[in-house]
Amino acid sequence: MLLQRKPELTYADVTPKEIYFNRRKFLKAMGITGVAAFAGRNLLNLASPSRNVYAATKFTGLIKSPFSTTEKETPYQDVTHYNNFYEFGVDKAQPAKNAQNFRTSPWTVSVEGEVKTKRKFTMDEILKFAPLEERIYRHRCVEGWSIVVPWTGFSFNVLARLVEPTPKAKFVAFESYWDLGQMPMAKQALAGIEFPYVEGLRLDEAMNPLTLLCVGMYGESLPNQDGAPVRMVIPWKYGFKSIKSIVKIKFVSKEPPTTWNLANSHEYGFYSNVNPNVDHPRWSQATERRLGDIFRRKTLMFNGYQDQVASLYTGMDLKKYF
């Protein structure tokens, strides 16, 4: 469902008075206390119950993250109409059109593998894990364009700590939703990649506080074309690592396969850290064009997040492990 930007409303504005004032009592009666109440603070559901309830959710009371850049945000229109989401077509304009009727509710994410507590989580449960933050990140696609987006979410390590990885867990494997009924273009013959879309991170990369489990952007739930209802955002890596519409998260002992590496291992490595000194065979990675800008700018090592992440790669030859 394509979002219209909505004016600021508070919970009280859209809620009948009795419900608003009795809400705390109601939550208590439902047994929803403590952490669960965070979601109540953050969520404002303006949806008609028909299709994607999350796609019409406006978040309130988001915590401002110290990890945010102060650079100018890319216009909402650009970020929602210039997308890579091959399940809905390979052209940048296609996902905004073809994902409109994508059903993202109900939705569950299965968390499995080397963890103490394997579990399936509903979106409602995920939204209650932690207070939601707004994180304004630079995001760079390997094709040479970049954006600055105010994402909504919390560190992935919150989820990881909840399910408790065992000592055997060394990597995390992610898998996207895949259904030819809803995604008729999600065929290898049409898109040139295999489905379901899969991605992976080393466990320490996944646990780094910058690694975001993302449920929204621009203060609202994710538009379908940007990976509703839940995706990853890993700001120091090329965009394709930030897998969309996640249905499975598996903690594993070996480096998991990743979609673009399977498609072309010479062009796409497992790590795929933004690195202006290592060119992609078809695109120089030295510069990038921010959507909306005319001139290109220099690409920064680790996309400018070197202070937070360089130590993850000490002693590694980043030309070899590209």
Ligand X SMILES: Nc1nc2c(c(=O)[nH]1)N[C@H]1C(S)=C(S)[C@@H](COP(=O)(O)O)O[C@H]1N2
Backbone conformation region of residue 144, classed left if phi is above 0, alpha if psi is from -120 to 50, else beta: left
The token pair at 179 is 């259904």
| Cα–Cα separations (whole angstroms), residue 271 to 79, 125, 205, 312 | 24, 30, 10, 11
User: Shortest gap between Cβ of 267 and ligand X (angstroms)?
Assistant: 12
List binders of Mo ion among 40-99 (CB under 5 A): 84
The token pair at 117 is 């507590």
Q: Are strands 212-217 and 246-252 parallel, antiparallel or unpaired?
A: unpaired
Q: Does 260 bind Mo ion (CB under 5 A)?
A: no
With contact defined as beta carbons under 8 Å apart, do 156 and 223 qualify?
no
Residue nearest to ligand X (CB): 239
User: Shortest gap between Cβ of 239 and ligand X (angstroms)?
Assistant: 3
Cis omega (within 30 of 0) for bond into 16: no
Choose the binding region for Mo ion from 11-19, 136-144, 153-161, 220-228 (rule: CB under 5 A): 136-144
**Distance, CA of 19 to CA of 118 (rounded, Å):** 35
**Of 153, 200, 229, 239, the one binding ligand X by CB under 6 A:** 239
At 197 the three-state DSSP class reads: coil
DSSP letter for 143, please. Answer: T
- Considering the complex, state which of residue 242 and residue 261 has its C-beta at the smaller distance from ligand X: 242
List binders of ligand X among 12-71 (CB under 6 A): none
User: Shortest gap between Cβ of 141 and Mo ion (angstroms)?
Assistant: 3
With CB under 5 to 8 Å by kind, the binding choice for 83 among ligand X, Mo ion, none is: ligand X
Helices and strands (H, E) in the chain, number of each type: 11, 15
Choose the binding region for ligand X from 10-18, 166-174, 234-242, 314-322 (rule: CB under 6 A): 234-242
Q: Does 303 bind Mo ion (CB under 5 A)?
A: no
With contact defined as beta carbons under 8 Å apart, do 174 and 205 qualify?
no
Cα 305 to its chain centre, rounded Å, is 17
Q: Does 146 bind ligand X (CB under 6 A)?
A: no
Q: Does 233 bind Mo ion (CB under 5 A)?
A: no
- Considering the complex, state which of residue 85 and residue 154 has its C-beta at the smaller distance from ligand X: 85
**Of 169, 226, 275, 303, the one binding ligand X by CB under 6 A:** 226
**Of 38, 54, 59, 85, the one binding ligand X by CB under 6 A:** 85
Q: Which residues bind ligand X (CB under 6 A)?
A: 79, 83-87, 141, 176, 197, 226-227, 239-240, 242-245
Q: Which residues bind Mo ion (CB under 5 A)?
A: 84, 141, 239-240
